[in-house]
Amino acid sequence: MLIKVVFRSWNGTWRSAGTTSGRGWSRDDQWSWLEPLLPPIPKTGRPPRDRRQCFDGIRWRARTGPPWRDIPERYGPREAAYTLFRRRQIDGTWTLVLKKLQVTADAAGHIEWEVSVDSTVCQAPARR
């Protein structure tokens, strides 16, 4: 599936990243499901960076597993992504988002809850 990605550059203007298969970027339909589950943006203090860009950086790191310092620049400053990740981890947002997504997906019939019990016993060979 090809999608058009548009994101805010460092100076705050909008620019197109062209057509991409979506690797590393959340699609519009994915973001429309996730954004309402996140806490509201605070009205006081400095305006936050683009939430979607930071979230894509967090998702990229979770998917690939490198240290925070290796997040590509296209996701914004690594400090912003790390700070957002830790704040949401400490306040329990990620757990609530996962639960809400599971409930929504289960209600829509996208999840099959299946339990598999395996009674196979595998004994290690005796040491001699």
Q: What would the mean pLDDT of 85-111 be, rounded to a whole number?
A: 90
pLDDT for residue 50 is more than 80: yes
d(C-alpha 54, C-alpha 58), whole Å = 6
For the chain, report the end-to-end CA distance as a whole number of angstroms.
58
Residues 6+ apart with CB under 8 A from 19: 2, 3, 4, 5
CA 9 to chain centre: 20
Q: How confident is the model at residue 30 (pLDDT cuts 50, 70, 90)?
A: confident
| pTM listed for this prediction | 0.64
Task: Of 73, 27, 114, 35, give the one whose Cα is nearest residue 81.
Answer: 73
